[in-house]
Amino acid sequence: MSTIGHLINGRVVTEGGRKQEVYNPATGAAEKEVVLATKATVEEAIACAQAAYPAWRDTPPIKRARIMFKFKELLEANADKICELIGQEHGKISHDAAGELQRGIENVEYACGIPELLKGEYSKNVGPGIDSWSEFQPLGVVAGITPFNFPVMVPLWMYPMAIACGNTFVLKPSERDPSSTLYVAQLLQEAGLPDGVINVVNGDKEAVDTLLNDERVKAVSFVGSTPIAEYIYTTANANGKRCQALGGAKNHAIVMPDADIDNAVNQLLGAAFGSSGERCMALSVAVAVGDAAADALVSKMQAAMADLKVGVYSESSNDFGPVITAAHRDKVVGFINSAEADGANVVVDGRNPEVAGYEKGFFVGGTLIDRVTPQMDSYQQEIFGPVLQVVRVNTMEEAMALIDDHEYGNGTCIFTRDGEAARYFSDHIQVGMVGINVPLPVPVAYHSFGGWKRSLFGDLHAYGPDGVRFNTKRKTITQRWPSAGVREGASFSMPTMK
């Protein structure tokens, strides 16, 4: 059984610490093990990052950009290997893993523009012979804590921009599928990054708490569940750190009576069941306005779902794979059981899928549940599995109130042909990312990603322009060089241009 270690100061470290099994979710078997970092191991990684910081901070942005350009080339050249590692440990189908990687690469591309992104503002003669400008300086050692569902993409939301801005980085990825994350970080080293600028420590709460409590870490980025996001944000802030913590979601799609139902069904299939629903932007609730729209939606979804294929990552004809662990599979099935017990109608039942040759895998088939109500636990909670629930309402106002009343505000969309309705929806809905006939409105790399309400703790969103702001601090300089022989007397009034 191979052992997955840490990357510290350019070297892979596998000795010391507890070990945890890493499963192939398609087979249900433990095929690797990962070393979990002790407090001392994390502190060593932080120390190496801090030691590397002065030289990296002073490296010209254009040289940092050149490393990012080379990193992009290496990611593309090694795409098959990266996708294979994702599939082996996450279960994501190869075409979905390729999409995850491409989204990550786009963030690297954005970071390649760092010489332009770090240009400050300059004003000449703000006063007699006085010039003023602002510049963006790095923070120091920055940390990232990332989830299992996107082991490549989410880390690439964080450290390319942090490093391009002149910071050094310590990454704590999910211990459930760490191989692809480690491999990608090694490619960044291969691209020419100096030792200590990127460090990867695998671990659990001990590693997380060390990062949160160490005063050398100046900022923390996190993506995961809302309870953990709130804990990380609260702890980091108490320790004087800058923090952005992205939490959970319960993403709704409103299906209006005038919607193109066939198009909505096709869009919902991928948005609800892609990656086994293990996406923070997965559409898990369809809110149908009127029984006619609901009946048509449920009927057509039921027919379309007959062709869904769940299976192993290496078969590209499969639509989605297993969920991450046996415990998570049982949790998803428990929500289906709960909805049924509460009176909902399980139209398509994915609780016992048959996957030939992979009978011990952690599979849940695509599930469609109709006549769900907001009082049901399965509606209130984030299921994070291949389950689409249908809630019926009478008006668009009811649908929007349903979305606004939920504690999460990550993503949402509306299916309609009515431009007025779409504009009203996008203007007034209390959600951070909105799609109009677009089911997964994930912003591109040169915008920023983040929800509202309890889906985000912190003021700045992830990647894009907010990524630059999060990873830098603004400094404003005002200067004057008095002319020779000219001396002004002392002034005790507040300086103005009046």
Q: Supply the CATH number for residue 314's domain.
A: 3.40.309.10
Contact 28, 360 (CB under 8 A): yes
Residue 432 belongs to a domain: yes
User: Does residue 264 share a domain with residue 139?
Assistant: no
Strand ranges (E), 80-208: 121-127, 130-138, 141-145, 168-172, 198-200
Question: Which residues neighbour 237 within 8 Å (Cβ) at sequence distance 6 or greater?
Answer: 243
User: Does residue 301 share a domain with residue 271?
Assistant: yes
Distance in angstroms (rounded) separating the CA atoms of residues 338 and 307: 26
Residue 350 belongs to a domain: yes
User: Does residue 212 share a domain with residue 117?
Assistant: yes
DSSP for residue 277: G
323: amino acid identity, one letter: V
Q: For tokens 């060390």, what's the residue? A: 210
Cα dihedral across residues 315, 321, 326, 329: positive or negative = negative
DSSP for residue 462: B
76: amino acid identity, one letter: E
User: Does residue 117 share a domain with residue 59?
Assistant: yes
Encoding tokens for residue 173?
């990825």
Distance in angstroms (rounded) separating the CA atoms of residues 255 and 329: 29
User: Does residue 231 share a domain with residue 258?
Assistant: no
Encoding tokens for residue 441?
């409105």
Residue 497 belongs to a domain: no
Distance in angstroms (rounded) separating the CA atoms of residues 162 and 244: 13
365: amino acid identity, one letter: G
Distance in angstroms (rounded) separating the CA atoms of residues 269 and 301: 8
15: amino acid identity, one letter: E
User: Does residue 323 share a domain with residue 289?
Assistant: yes
Nearest to 191 by CA among 58, 10, 60: 10
User: Does residue 157 share a domain with residue 19?
Assistant: yes
Residue 486 belongs to a domain: no
Say what the pLDDT of residue 492 is.
85
Which domain-ending residue is among 436, 466, 485? 436
Residue 494 belongs to a domain: no
Contact 31, 87 (CB under 8 A): no
Contact 483, 489 (CB under 8 A): no
User: Does residue 402 share a domain with residue 459?
Assistant: no
Distance in angstroms (rounded) separating the CA atoms of residues 123 and 130: 9
Beta-strand relationship, 411-415 and 433-436: parallel
Question: Which residues neighbour 489 within 8 Å (Cβ) at sequence distance 6 or greater?
Answer: none
User: Does residue 385 share a domain with residue 359?
Assistant: yes
Instruction: Give the 3-state secondary structure of residue 108.
Output: helix
Say what the pLDDT of residue 470 is.
98
Q: Supply the CATH number for residue 90's domain.
A: 3.40.605.10
70: amino acid identity, one letter: K
Encoding tokens for residue 333?
């099935």
Q: Which residues pair with 136 in a beta bridge?
A: 474
Q: Which residues pair with 453 in a beta bridge?
A: 408
Q: How many domains does one find in the chain? A: 2
Residue 446 belongs to a domain: no
Distance in angstroms (rounded) separating the CA atoms of residues 267 and 439: 6
134: amino acid identity, one letter: S
Residue 448 belongs to a domain: no
User: Does residue 147 share a domain with residue 92?
Assistant: yes
Nearest to 35 by CA among 206, 163, 156: 206
Question: Which residues neighbour 297 within 8 Å (Cβ) at sequence distance 6 or greater?
Answer: 255, 261, 264, 265, 286, 288, 390
Q: Over its length of 498 residues, how does the chain's per-residue pLDDT go in tens digits?
A: 899 999 999 999 998 779 999 999 999 999 999 999 999 999 999 999 999 999 999 999 999 999 999 999 999 999 999 999 999 999 999 999 999 999 999 999 999 999 999 999 999 999 888 999 999 999 999 999 999 999 999 999 999 999 999 999 999 999 999 999 999 999 999 999 999 999 999 999 999 999 999 999 999 999 999 999 999 999 999 999 999 999 999 999 999 999 999 999 999 999 999 999 999 999 999 999 999 999 999 999 999 999 999 999 999 999 999 999 999 999 999 999 999 999 999 999 999 999 999 999 999 999 999 999 999 999 999 999 999 999 999 999 999 999 999 999 999 999 999 999 999 999 999 999 999 999 999 999 999 999 999 999 999 999 999 999 999 999 999 999 887 766 777 888 888 877
Contacts 24+ apart (CB under 8 A), 124-127: 126/478, 126/497, 127/480, 127/495, 127/497
Contact 47, 41 (CB under 8 A): no
User: Does residue 168 share a domain with residue 271?
Assistant: no
Residue 149 belongs to a domain: yes
Residue numbers of the domain that contains 151: 2-247+455-477
What are the residue numbers of the active site?
280
Q: For tokens 């801090």, what's the residue? A: 50
Is residue 115 packed enough to be buried (19+ CB in 10 Å), middle (13-18) or exposed (0-12)? middle
Q: Which residues pair with 413 in a beta bridge?
A: 253, 435
Instruction: Give the 3-state secondary structure of residue 142.
Output: strand
Contact 10, 189 (CB under 8 A): yes
